Amino acid sequence: MADQGLVKETACAVVEKLKAGDVTPLDLLDVLEKRIAEVDGKVNALPTLCFDRARTHAKALMQKPASERGLLAGLPVPIKDLTAVSGVLTTLGSPIFKDNIPAKSDILVERLEQKGGVIYAKSNTPEFGAGANTFNEVFGPTRNPWDTSRSAAGSSGGAAAALASGTAWLAHGSDMGGSLRNPASFCGVVGLRPSIGRVAHTPKFGVDRTLGVQGPMARNVEDLALLLDAMSGEHAADPLSLPVLPTSFLSAARSNQKPKRIAYSPDLGITPVDPEVKAVTRKAAERFAEAGAIVEEAHPDFREAHECFHVLRAFDFAISKAELLRTKRDLLKPEVIWNIEEGLKLTVEKLERAEAQRVAMTARALEFFERYDLLLAPATIVPPFPVENRYVAECDGKTFDNYVEWLGIVYAITLACCPALSLPCGFTASGLPVGLQMVAKPRAEAQLLAGAKVLEDILGVRGTTPIDPRPPR
């Protein structure tokens, strides 16, 4: 009988057990299946399970010597329900695709399986990943394990809730406007948006779509680095993909390389922020002084972020979903219809202006990182909100114009092409998690992970997950 205590182990520790032969991939699948039966009904993180496929893959892996089973050595990993897994229901959170079973996996999934990952579930996501609250008409809402009346954020909400409730050791997600960072913040785990090209994926609708990237989520920084190592590397099918670096991200995370100069900004100069979130993140950022770092309040100039992101996101929706609007409009949620229609109204002049704004913001960010090693800010501007609210309509007295404007603090970083993660950094007075967004210059994930691990050690919040889902208090 597999030990249910394994649920609480780190991914790195479980991989070591796999490599030593202390546990098998099949043992881990048994543990997960039991844990999912116990807790997932309360959070709805993993609505689609594929344990038969997982066990077939695990048995094939076990025919190989332990040393040849890849970096993950048979560790189970769930895939976000926007990404194709061969033979497994992949709905994109949309009634249009409620019966969609792809014949071929995304190259990201193929790579994870080559590296010894075993796919056992699809994690819940909003329709097409649109919006930072995970609910859809196919599977319903994902609830926050810290308080099941609250949102797990999104769009990788299922991934974050699975990690927090102990039904995953590692999880795959994706991020356009904070979709790996927001749910990590709300659920008290770590989520990383890597640099463009760091994680290869199958291009869809356009070769050069760079707002959205694929990335890892985990319960701590070392586990996150391990999954990034398994995900990263170039692939001929993704022309933007980057080669593997000579030093692993896990060794970078463990390097104890301390940043010398840190910038903290409560709002990046562009957004209201809940006062409690501001206070928790500021206190966490200031603790970098304990590692000998200089901490100053500063941020790059992101004044065009809202206009720029609105235009480029709308354009992305138009090229990827206009055909669905023409043929399946009645099955699309209103926010998605609005986004596609905004894209179809765009002029070349508006696109020209937005692209120039993005170039300018990226250049200013690069100049900023000549002075600072890391930029810190809140990962989300509010604590976890009631799950029935479709999005955040207002914060600290400001009413937002649309369903994505409240995400400016994360999408400004997307526009500047920087890698960024959300690190658990404390709790609100009511016991809900708060995430600190940590940002480095483009392609500096190694430096980012090293700094995040240093602060994680100082803050001492590592190990607060997994938890059993908690009812509203």
Helix (H) / strand (E) element for 214: namely: strand 213-218
Contact predicate 170/156, CB 8 Å? no
Q: Measured in whole angstroms, how far is the alpha carbon of residue 413 from the centre of its chain?
A: 14
Report the candidate in 12, 31, 13 with the shortest Cα–Cα distance to residue 167: 31
DSSP 269: T
Question: SS3 of 398, please?
Answer: strand
Q: Phi then psi for 262, rounded to 5 degrees?
A: -115, 140
Output the DSSP codes for 87-150.
Answer: TS---TT-GGGTT---SS--HHHHHHHHTT-EEEEEE--SGGG-SSS---TTT---EETTEEEE
Phi, psi for residue 112 in degrees, rounded to 5? -60, -40
Residue pair 213/191 in contact by the 8 Å Cβ criterion: no
155 is catalytic: yes
Find all residues with CB under 8 Å of 201, minimum gap 6, and list them.
83, 106, 107, 108, 214, 238
Catalytic residue among 80, 278, 321, 441: 80
The active-site residue, picked from 155, 156, 174, 265, is 155
Record the tokens describing residue 186, joined without a space: 């709300």
Residue 274 vs residues 392, 397, 422: alpha-carbon distances, Å: 12, 10, 17
Distances (CA, A) of 321 to 8, 16, 297: 40, 43, 41
Q: How far apart are CA 1 and CA 59, in angstroms?
A: 17
Q: What span, in angstroms and rounded, lies between the C-alpha atoms of 146 and 165? A: 9
Known active-site residue 80: yes
8 Å CB contact between 175 and 140: no
Beta pairing, strands 147-151 & 213-218: unpaired
Task: For residue 438, report the phi and psi dihedrals to the nearest 5 degrees.
Answer: -120, 130
Catalytic residue among 94, 105, 165, 179: 179
At residue 347, the 3 state secondary structure works out as coil
| Catalytic machinery residues | 80, 155, 179
